[in-house]
Chain A
């Protein structure tokens, strides 16, 4: 494995270049402090994102590339009808969106603060996640109500085939879903411990849902039988070495994210601990097949214990390349280890070639510090959401969400055009 990793990475010490990316800020929402997974490009080309705010209300936003306009689609606590509840706010969309055959964008909400779970089930605690849908035709968000009581949708995905929103709850790690047609909310029970909830649910073209349990074991939920099966398949997960603290803070036993490739009918994903790349073919053999594809990391980070934690910023481009944004330093917005600069990596599914496209910087040279969601536009544009350096404009106060390693940051939609970049 080590040999394979090295062969897929640039030689240590070889500096990558710089990739200049475009960006859009979210006007009036400078206090939004995080984004995880919540980014999707609709069939109409519009880009939807969920912005998180710890201790306050999250927002759903939309970017219309045709009009080059960012819109705030709403305050999540208000959309949930809980604005005056004096209870834990709807602070996040913490999971992937999905588009239905009706064109609506489906998702579940999440809490921000957990207080070491001291408030679970209390009056001032979080009431529970809401299942929701945004309708681009009307511009309205429909609230389907609370799904899991006192818990948020930590991980989620929507399946247009069965018209269901799936989720893994936080803190108790239950596999839940909301059946949109029948209005039925279902809890299939616990899958994970609170600190090791699988961060992405993958859905194949038959509507089967996949996640991780235990030490990288894949499970499958089949909507036809309504049953969860734990498959004899594991994703590559690095054995833990000397702890540098992360294994206490974060799970290192699951895939971090997967994307579905319609062409090969396979998932591609990276593990949490070391961004080990793999493919998962759910249709091969009786249970499916996992193939390790090496390590997808920035130059010089291969096989290092202190490689930054994997991000959720993985997308499959129209050019058959996986695009993956990795931070230079352990990145989790205000909880980051410091302010580095994100690298953009690519992996060509046709050739297996990996490339470190370089440091992601804005046109004015500011750093893209870290990204945690990605999706591909209909024209091949790769969209990300994450943290960029905030800069004070002349005559105006600094607008930031906080600091990362002492550097003020704010959230932005980061836009990469593979064609324009000549890639």
Chain B
């Protein structure tokens, strides 16, 4: 290469360097396709929105009628609903005495919404009443009924529901109690703990390691991860919590700091999990077998998973200090597709990228809802390409 050619290449590189200092068209290649994604403000801007600082979406769930319920965390926690026919987010008010709701929303077959609170540890129930006809509620409290404290002195860190049995299951923080709540009998039962002690570590590592979610199999057994990444099963038949001889995937030696960040169950009853180290795994509860499906991203943590109608698993990875990316896993092919940053570019009207994502949910029509979890947050709607 001649010196002149080298100089030209260097100069060309400088031009592109400066062009990249701001957003350029080439950035479109590193984000999800823009015809597949959109975003919703959490309310009606500019006034009637869940305030910045309280808008981090930390729980999403889909009701039997298709409505999407979400809860936020911040100085105050809010409940909201999105009716897919309407398409906008309707804030339902603050959740009383609550700063955070972390993967702790569950909707019963009746449509009642159960909310696990932090730091109080209360189980609340919200009964939807013609929400479409109600005004947006920002400053007012959401009308909820307090069902009591699950485990005294503990926050609720995750919820799941068995709609058939009308049973709610939960995990508490900081001491990792597994509890159940019998809706009909209005009674809590503490079934034991999934982590006894925090792992050894640096002075800033102060929490016990247990999963950020719970998941049910087709036999209505309930699973969590606990100390050293071991899977725990609440055995429906025995009504007892069992430690399984199975661990979530981890690099040997990293088990003490491993937890499952996200769970989903597919149509066949197989459970998929995403770990704190960023591994996706499949757990067959019938065969008691865990398969490590590898690491789709060069990032720690798979913070959320959702199931598409064609059986593909969609996931999001990245830590609190990272920039989240979306991927999919096709169980039929055993292959990943890396979809890029979760970004919506609808200029000149709005443009926003989600950097931290902690929750996803699959809508009844196949839309995947993605909850951004930052000081300023939005709800994203991702429309997967279905292959079946």
Contact residues in B for A190 (Cβ distance below 8 Å): 355, 374-376
**Interface: A288 (CB within 8 A):** no
Q: Which residue of B18, B298, B355 is within 8 Å of A335 (Cβ)?
A: B18
Most buried by A among B19, B29, B52: B52
Contacts of B14 in A (CB 8 A): 33, 54, 334, 402-403
Quick check: which of A98-106, A114-122, A357-365, A376-384 contacts chain B, the rest being far away? A114-122
- Complex partner residue of B351 from A150, A174, A195, CB under 8 angstroms: A195
Contacts of B350-367 to chain A: CB distance below 8 A: 351-353, 355
Number of interface residues of A (CB under 8 A): 44
How far is B344's CA from A370's CA once the two chains are assembled, in angstroms?
Answer: 33
A187 to B250, CA, bound (A): 30
Proximity string of chain A (161-172) to chain B, C-beta cutoff 8 Å, 1 when within and 0 when not: 000000000011
B340-388 contacts to A, CB under 8 A, are 341, 347-348, 351-353, 355, 374-376
Q: Does chain B have a CB within 8 A of A189? A: yes
Query: Cβ of A19: which chain B residues have Cβ within 8 Å of it?
Result: none
Which residues of chain B from 81 to 113 have any CB-CB distance to chain A below 8 Å in the complex? none
Closest-by-CB residue of B relative to A195 is B23
A334 near B18 (CB under 8 angstroms)? yes
Q: Would you call B202 an interface residue if the criterion is a C-beta within 8 Å of the partner chain's C-beta atoms?
A: no
Specify which of A116, A248, A335 is in contact with B347 (CB 8 Å cutoff).
A248
List A contacts of B29 (CB < 8 A). Answer: 116
Per-position 1/0 for A262-283, Cβ under 8 A of B: 0000000000000000000000
CB of A189 within 8 A of CB of B53, answer yes
Q: Of A121, A191, A249, A402, which is within 8 A of B19 by CB? A: A249
Beta-carbon nearest neighbor of B56 in chain A? A189
- Whether A247 contacts B347 in the complex (CB less than 8 A), given A117-B30, A190-B374, A195-B22, comes out as yes
- In the assembled complex, the Cα of A333 lies from the Cα of B299 at a distance in Å of 34
B295 to chain A, nearest CB (A): 14
Indicate if B237 sits at the interface (CB-CB under 8 A).
no
Chain A CB within 8 A of B332 CB: no
Given the known inter-chain contacts A121-B322, A240-B348, please indicate yes or no for A113 contacting B17, CB distance below 8 A: yes
For the complex, is A184 an interface residue (Cβ under 8 Å from B)?
Answer: no
Smallest Cβ distance from B24 to chain A, in angstroms?
6
The reply to whether A335 and B321 form a contact with Cβ atoms under 8 Å apart is no
Complex: how many Å from CA A174 to CA B46?
21
A302 within 8 A of B: no
Is the beta-carbon distance between A193 and B351 smaller than 8 angstroms? yes
Within 8 A of B (CB), among A325-341: 332-336
A149 contacts the other chain (CB 8 A): yes
Is A121 touching B351 in the complex (CB atoms < 8 A)?
Answer: no
| B319 at interface, CB cutoff 8 A | yes
Instruction: Report yes or no: B298 in contact with A332, Cβ–Cβ below 8 A.
Output: no
Q: How far is the CA of A171 from the CA of B46 in the complex (A)?
A: 25
- Neighbouring B residues of A150 by C-beta, 8 Å: 321-322
| A115 CA to B29 CA, complexed, in Å | 12
User: Considering the chains assembled together, what is the distance between the CA atoms of A320 and B119 in angstroms?
Assistant: 55
In this assembly, does B9 line the interface, its C-beta being within 8 Å of a C-beta of chain A?
no
Q: Give the nearest-CB partner of A309 in chain B.
A: B22
A171 touches B374 (CB 8 A): no
| Per-residue B-contact encoding for A207-251, CB less than 8 Å = 1, 0 else | 000000010000000000000101000000000100100011111
* Contact call A149/B321, Cβ cutoff below 8 A: yes
| Shortest Cβ gap from A185 to chain B (Å) | 13
Residue of A54, A150, A248 with most partner-chain B CB within 10 A:
A248
Residues of A within 8 A of B15 (CB): 334-335
Q: How far is the CA of A306 from the CA of B54 in the complex (A)?
A: 39
Q: Does B135 lie at the interface of the complex (its beta carbon under 8 Å from any beta carbon of A)?
A: no
Q: Contact at A248–B30, with CB atoms within 8 Å? A: no
**Is A230 a contact of B52 with CB atoms below 8 Å?**
yes
Chain A contacts with B in 108-165, Cβ cutoff 8 A: 112-118, 120-122, 149-150
Residue in B23, B374, B375 whose beta carbon sits within 8 Å of that of A249 in the complex: B23
CB of B139 within 8 Å of the partner chain: no
Give A369 to B175 CA distance when docked, in angstroms: 63
Closest to A230 in B: B52
Residue of A nearest to B29 (CB): A116
Give the docked Cα–Cα distance between A293 and B203 (Å). Answer: 54
In the assembled complex, the CB of A91 is this many whole angstroms from the nearest CB of chain B, namely: 11
- Residues from chain B with a CB closer than 8 A to the CB of A194 are 23, 353
CB of A398, distance to nearest CB on chain B (Å): 11
Which residues of chain A are within 8 angstroms of B27 by Cβ–Cβ distance?
A: 116
Q: Is the CB of B375 within 8 A of A402?
A: no
Given contacts A189-B374, A249-B23, contact A121 B299 (CB under 8 A): yes
A366 within 8 A of B: no
What's the minimum C-beta distance from B188 to chain A, rounded to whole angstroms? 35
Q: Within B247-268, which residues are at the interface with A (CB < 8 Å)?
A: none
B24 A247 Cβ-Cβ under 8 A: no
A78 at the interface (CB under 8 A from B): no
Check if A188 is an interface residue, CB within 8 A of chain B.
Answer: yes
Tell whether, in the assembled complex, residue A116 and residue B26 are in contact, meaning their CB atoms are under 8 Å apart.
yes
**Contact across chains for A243 and B348 when beta carbons are under 8 A apart:** yes
Q: Is B21 an interface residue (CB 8 A)?
A: yes
Q: How far is the CA of A333 from the CA of B355 in the complex (A)?
A: 29
Asked whether A117 lies within 8 Å of B323 as measured between CB atoms, the reply is yes
Q: How far is the CA of A190 from the CA of B74 in the complex (A)?
A: 13
Partner pick for A120 among B25, B323, B347, B375, CB 8 A cutoff: B323
A55 in the interface (beta carbon within 8 A): yes
- Which residues 236-251 of B have a CB within 8 angstroms of A? none
Q: Is B187 an interface residue (CB 8 A)?
A: no
Report Cα–Cα, A150/B299, bound state, in Å. 13
Which residues of chain B are within 8 angstroms of A249 by Cβ–Cβ distance?
19, 22-24
Complex Cα gap A196–B298 (Å): 26
Chain A residues lying within 8 Å of B20, measured Cβ to Cβ, are 113-116
The answer to the question of B11 belonging to the interface, with a C-beta cut-off of 8 Å to chain A, is yes
Residues of chain A with a CB closer than 8 A to B25's CB:
248
Residue of B at shortest CB range from A116? B30
Docked Cα-Cα span, A250 to B19, in Å, equals 10
For the complex formed, measure the closest distance between the CB of A392 and the CB atoms of chain B, giving whole angstroms: 14
Considering the complex, give the chain B residue whose CB is closest to the CB of A249: B22
Which residues of the other chain, B, contact A120 by a CB distance below 8 angstroms?
Answer: 322-323
Residue contacts A-B, CB under 8 angstroms, 11 given: A34-B18, A117-B30, A172-B323, A190-B375, A240-B348, A247-B347, A248-B23, A248-B347, A249-B22, A249-B23, A251-B22
- Nearest 4 A/B pairs, CB to CB: A335-B18, A189-B375, A195-B23, A334-B14
**Measuring CB to CB, which residues of chain A are less than 8 angstroms from any residue of chain B?**
33-34, 54-55, 112-118, 120-122, 149-150, 171-172, 174, 188-191, 193-196, 214, 228, 230, 240, 243, 247-251, 332-336, 402-403
List 13 additional A-B contacts (Cβ < 8 Å) besides A113-B20, A334-B15, A402-B11: A55-B17, A113-B17, A115-B20, A149-B321, A150-B322, A172-B323, A195-B351, A214-B46, A228-B53, A243-B348, A251-B22, A334-B14, A403-B11
B residues engaging A (CB < 8 A)?
11, 14-15, 17-27, 29-30, 46, 52-53, 298-299, 318-319, 321-323, 341, 347-348, 351-353, 355, 374-376
